[in-house]
């Protein structure tokens, strides 16, 4: 059989798909993920003593507002109030009223800009949420001062799924990215699970210029180790260009299974990129415990969706996103977006 005839036949497509899958497996096995260089690399190798931690609100009064009409200078590349390990505990649920009082300069919709300098980075934090106000209260209490310590201009978006259909985290993230980019030209998109709180303020919520960045490389429930090599779940940072290049998340993962994280890790490689992973000494997070049993039965079919990623990733994702926007509320600590995702 001649090559042109074979190329036009159905087996050639099968060959290409198998070749792509084999290539991705090889990349995973070789562990071709890279760490962020420069400042982050040095911070990650620092011998942090997590037995000595600091209040996340400490020294924020160091940032005094500039005078009216004064041209503010750019913020220093390294914030002067970074301390490293932070004291995180979930014994008492903080009220939203308390969090609002402790963050007086956060504007409506969860927006913030440094008062003493011009921010070098603009980051949008996108939090998908099915339920669990308790976890959201904890996260907001710690996340606002954490971001202010890094002298970022930021906005926090919470994406609620309405109705009684099975939870679809991946599609909610696509919605959050789309809605956030309609409001602002963000430099960086932080895709953030509601149950993870960062433990070190040197873990900067900014993007890598070249590759999608995995922030939560060390979670306490995983003994501060990666659960598996291709893991891209929890908290990640991507530029809008990187997110669109990989066509975002797929919209087909319904239920509580991390198949969408494996899918987007595959998409990263298929789009010609790698994963920039924060060192485990720096990318530490504490998880707010909760029951994730809901949806496990429904999501077994997600395993079959993952097998098709090499064929479908260009066609199913941000470019096939459909949802019904029910409401957008500018609340004191975040922008609350409620959507109907339809049925699985």
**Residue 277, pLDDT above cutoff 80:** yes
pLDDT mean over 243-255 = 87
State the burial class of residue 101 (Cβ atoms within 10 Å of its Cβ: 0-12, 13-18, 19+). Answer: exposed
pLDDT mean over 57-79 = 88
Q: Average the pLDDT over each of 11-15, 157-161, 202-206, 266-270 and give the range with the smallest value.
A: 11-15
Interval 185-228: pLDDT, tens: 999 999 999 999 999 999 999 999 999 999 999 999 999 999 88
Residue 9 in domain: no
H/E element, 310 = helix 309-312
Task: Enumerate the β-bridge partners of residue 195.
Answer: none
Residue 22 in domain: no
Q: Which CATH number belongs to the domain containing residue 270 in this structure?
A: 3.90.550.10
Looking at per-residue pLDDT, the higher value among 297 and 134 belongs to: 134
Looking at per-residue pLDDT, the higher value among 267 and 299 belongs to: 267
Interval 90-106: pLDDT, tens: 999 999 999 999 999 99
Average pLDDT, the chain: 84
Residue 25 in domain: no
Domain that residue 215 falls in: 31-340
**Of 125, 109, 181, 97, the residue nearest 334 (C-alpha):** 109
Residue 285 and residue 199 in contact, taking contact as beta carbons nearer than 8 Å: yes
- Report how far residue 80's alpha carbon sits from residue 140's, in angstroms, rounded to the nearest whole number: 23
Residue 76 in domain: yes
Interval 12-45: pLDDT, tens: 555 555 555 554 444 443 333 343 344 544 455 5
Interval 310-339: pLDDT, tens: 788 888 888 888 899 999 999 999 999 999
Query: At what angle are helices 259-270 and 169-183 packed, to 10 degrees?
Result: 60
Residue 55 in domain: yes
Residue 26 in domain: no
Interval 124-145: pLDDT, tens: 999 999 876 889 999 999 999 9
Query: At what angle are helices 259-270 and 10-30 packed, to 10 degrees?
Result: 100
Number of domains in the chain: 1
Residue 258 in domain: yes
- Report how far residue 279's alpha carbon sits from residue 343's, in angstroms, rounded to the nearest whole number: 39
Rounded percentage of the chain residues whose pLDDT exceeds 90 = 60
Residue 24 in domain: no
324 φ/ψ angles, rounded to the nearest 5 degrees: -115, 115
């Amino acid at each position: 059989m001649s090559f042109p005839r074979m190329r036009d036949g159905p087996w050639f497509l099968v060959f290409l798909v198998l070749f792509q899958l084999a290539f991705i497996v090889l990349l995973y096995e070789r562990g071709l993920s890279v760490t962020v260089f420069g400042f982050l690399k040095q911070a990650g190798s620092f011998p942090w003593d997590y037995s000595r931690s600091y209040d996340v609100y400490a020294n924020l009064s160091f940032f005094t507002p500039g005078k009216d009409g004064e041209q503010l200078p750019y913020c220093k590349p390294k914030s002067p109030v970074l301390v490293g390990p932070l004291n995180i505990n979930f014994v008492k649920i903080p009220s939203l009223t308390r969090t609002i009082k402790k963050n007086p300069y956060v504007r409506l919709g969860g927006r913030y800009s440094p008062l003493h300098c011009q921010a070098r980075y603009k980051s949008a934090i996108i939090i998908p949420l099915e339920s669990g106000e308790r976890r959201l209260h904890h996260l907001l209490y710690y996340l606002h001062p954490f971001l202010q310590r890094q002298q970022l201009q930021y906005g926090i978006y919470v994406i609620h799924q309405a109705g009684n259909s099975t939870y679809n985290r991946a599609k909610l993230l696509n919605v959050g990215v789309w809605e956030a980019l309609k409001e602002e030209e963000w430099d960086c998109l932080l895709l953030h699970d509601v149950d993870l709180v960062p433990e070190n303020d040197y873990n900067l919520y900014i993007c890598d210029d070249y590759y999608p960045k995995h922030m939560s490389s060390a979670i306490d429930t995983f003994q501060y180790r990666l659960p598996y090599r291709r893991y891209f779940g929890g908290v990640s940072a991507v530029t809008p260009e990187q997110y669109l290049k990989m066509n975002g998340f797929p919209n087909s993962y319904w239920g509580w299974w991390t198949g969408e994280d494996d899918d987007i890790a595959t998409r990263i490689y298929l789009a010609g990129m790698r994963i920039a992973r924060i060192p485990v000494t720096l990318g530490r997070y504490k998880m707010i415990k909760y029951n994730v049993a809901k949806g496990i039965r429904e999501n077994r079919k997600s395993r079959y969706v993952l097998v098709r990623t090499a064929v479908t990733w260009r066609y199913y994702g941000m470019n096939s996103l459909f949802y019904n926007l029910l409401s957008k509320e500018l609340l004191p600590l975040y922008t609350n977006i409620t959507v109907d995702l339809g049925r699985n």
